[in-house]
Chain A
Amino acid sequence: MSTRTTGVVVTGAAVLLPGADSVRALAQGPAAGGDPVEPATHVGRKGLRYKDRATQLGYALTSAALRDAGLLEGEKDGTLTVAAETVGVVASSNFGNLDTVARALDTIREETVTATSPMDLPNASSNVIASSAAIRYGLRGPNLMVCNGETSGLDAVHWATTMIASGRVDRALVLGVEPDNDVVRKLLGGGHAVDGGAALVLEAAAAAEDRGAAVRARIGAYRRSAGEQGADQGRRWRLPEHSGRASGANGVIQCAAAVGRFDAGDREPAHAVVGGAGDDASAGLVLLAPGAAR
């Protein structure tokens, strides 16, 4: 399946990874040996207790991307500059709540259900990243959690684009995040996950224009299929190996890197590609610089 989507633009982006805390730094790196992301330094300590790492990272990315897009203003958690119903959320993560599931299961097996914490209930639901971002920042549009394997991040961008193009919502935050922890490391056979992620604000071109928002990139063709994606349709960018497995965050991180490159004045289209022959499918998405010819 492929779609040639037009009329959807990127008006905000954010990244939080060890070694990169801006889209421009991401496009250059990220550097090896960076410190772990500390969500409390970005959004304060309030409300982080009982939230899993993925949800905390999601809060920090949501705040940063909405502010970057001019949709959130003011102190603390801020205030939306647009109607709450006009902002949707599409989040992507594969490993998000595996730690909660494993911990609750261990408690049930080793003690009994009575020893589990009721505070774990929301975190046991895999959509907690998407819904928690919406609750904290008051985003009342469609709220979607994509857990679709290696292609998940680009799929999330695709579904945000689809909902905007169909007129279901004017704009959507796209969040890609993967936490690192013992459960994830065991699942990855010893490797580690990125322990961070990226976020984008996608918006109908007309809605962006109405509020005078700067266009940072335009969304081009998306394709998901078995096997590899074929010839490059723009510059490829890859997260360095030392950053770890990006999984469901990968596609969103690649899009954020493209925005970083466009912000620096480069006009060459970007071709984000995730998944491949070893996975159930691959996906590709073309991003165009603002104002560049199609």
Chain B
Amino acid sequence: MMSRPIIGMGAVAATGSGVDELFESLCAGRSGRAELRGFDRTRFRAQHAYEVDNRPAEGEDVPRRATNLLVEAIGQAAADAGIGEDLSGIPILIGTGLRELRSMELWWREGSEFTDAGLHFGTGLRERFNADVTHTFSNACSASLYALALASDLLGQEGDDTPDTVIVAGVDVLTESMYGLLERVHPVPPDRVRPFDRNRTGVLMGDGAAAIVLRRSDAGAPRVHGLLRAVAVNCDAYHVTAPSPEGIAQAMRNAYSLAGVKQSDVDLVMLHGTGTLLNDEAEATALADVLGSGADGPLTTAVKSMTGHTSGASGLINLIVGLRALNEGRVPPTVGLDEPVDEAASFRFVTGEAAAGEQLRVAQINAFGFGGINAVAIVEGTR
């Protein structure tokens, strides 16, 4: 697989808007956790989430928040890459877990305006950016890395009419149905996201969006943030919600193979780390198996401890944070991780303060979704 330059980046989450602000907040260990802002709290046992604080009034939700966050992230990435705001003809691949289902919910219960054309993001992106080659992939929590894999395949095609530039994005905001059903399956309602900690109680959702501009070559690019070496995707074909360590490990091995790297080349692992009882142990088991005797080699961190689980956006947020970490030698900590689970005992977690002054070149980005859909990306910094 050919390496492709990443020439623009944009992101927004509870912890900040813009890659600079997001990265600095994460390095400072600032969490976006707060009491539920847009839902009636009396309906739920869990009371907290990691939402972007942009609603017009406390406790009142508004439609199109996912589209608005997506537009914000894509706008940042396009400006960063210097490609302007008319994105007609440029493929935009959007990974999402929940599409505009929050707008659908508000239509269903409160009668706000909504049609079936508003379920996917093409309509909003056509209005804002004149974009017409838009693709909404609803691939649960690995959606944006799945979209990245497809972008990579698209750039790998030969022919006069194949694109030189592809935008990959991810977005999700809380929906009441998913927030509720997720807390429903936890014996104790989760209070905060504590990835890989033995006393974690589970996952809470977060709002977020991220976008990158990926190009066939770096010719004419104002800046290059890093290189996408490869993305591997697969499916466990095991269970609708429970992960499989074997399937996850296979995705990691495939990613190394496609990228032409060895386990020992990986300097940083941006873990999926949702804080659910099942994910963290499965992910740790798979990573420990794949790294073998080198499990204490790479630095590891899980930023969902500060952004919450941004679902379809999370893979790309991790990729952007990971690239910035490679280029600056600084790695945000995993907040709330005090006692790692046994499966992760050998990992070099960044906890407490951010790591600084590190020499890092290659990062592995993990994203796993319901249905056992796994995606693992390998990126290289420019430093």
Quick one: given A131-B372, A135-B237, A226-B126, are A124 and B181 in contact (CB under 8 Å)? yes
Q: Does A187 contact B (CB under 8 A)?
A: yes
Q: Tell me if A170 is interfacial: C-beta within 8 Å of chain B.
A: no
What B residues does A233 contact at CB under 8 A?
none
List residues of chain A with CB within 8 A of the CB of B125: 280
| Contact residues on A (Cβ < 8 Å of other chain), bracket | 35 or more
Top 9 A-B pairs, shortest CB-CB distance: A131-B371, A122-B240, A143-B235, A126-B138, A280-B122, A226-B132, A166-B153, A104-B177, A147-B138
* A107-149 interface with B by 8 A CB criterion: 108-109, 112-114, 116-118, 120-122, 124-128, 130-132, 134-135, 137-149
Provided the pairs A3-B159, A118-B184, A187-B115 are in contact, do residues A113 and B238 lie with their beta carbons within 8 angstroms?
no
* Chain A contact residues, CB within 8 Å of chain B: 1-4, 84-85, 88-89, 94-95, 98, 100-102, 104-106, 108-109, 112-114, 116-118, 120-122, 124-128, 130-132, 134-135, 137-152, 155, 159, 162-163, 165-166, 168, 183, 186-188, 224-226, 247, 279-281
**B residues less than 8 Å from A88 (CB atoms):** 235
14 A–B contacts, CB within 8 A, in A order: A4-B159, A105-B176, A108-B176, A118-B185, A124-B181, A127-B369, A127-B373, A128-B240, A134-B235, A142-B146, A149-B122, A166-B153, A226-B126, A280-B126
B43 and A113: CB pair below 8 A? yes
Kindly state the separation between the CA atoms of A94 and B45 in the bound complex, as whole angstroms: 31
- Residues in A with CB closer than 8 Å to B182 are 121
- Shortest A56–chain B CB gap in Å is 14
* A-side contacts of B109, CB under 8 Å: 105-106, 109
* A5 CB → nearest B CB, Å: 8
Name B residues whose Cβ lies closer than 8 Å to a Cβ of A: 40, 42-45, 88-89, 91, 97-99, 101, 104-105, 108-109, 114-117, 119-120, 122-123, 125-126, 130, 132-140, 146, 149-150, 153-154, 156-157, 159, 161-163, 175-178, 180-185, 233-241, 247, 369-373
Cβ contact within 8 Å between A225 and B122: no
Asked, given contacts A95-B116, A127-B140, A132-B240, whether A142 binds B97 with beta carbons under 8 Å apart, the answer is: no
Closest chain A CB from B56 CB (angstroms): 21
Q: Is the CB of B162 within 8 A of A3?
A: yes
Cα A231 to Cα B109 in complex, Å, equals 43
Chain B residues with CB under 8 A of A105: 105, 108-109, 176-177, 180
Query: Cβ of A281: which chain B residues have Cβ within 8 Å of it?
Result: 122, 126, 132-134
Known: A143-B233, A162-B154. 19 other contacts (CB 8 A): A3-B161, A101-B108, A102-B104, A105-B108, A108-B177, A112-B42, A113-B45, A116-B180, A116-B184, A126-B97, A128-B370, A131-B373, A135-B372, A140-B236, A148-B120, A149-B120, A152-B120, A166-B156, A186-B108
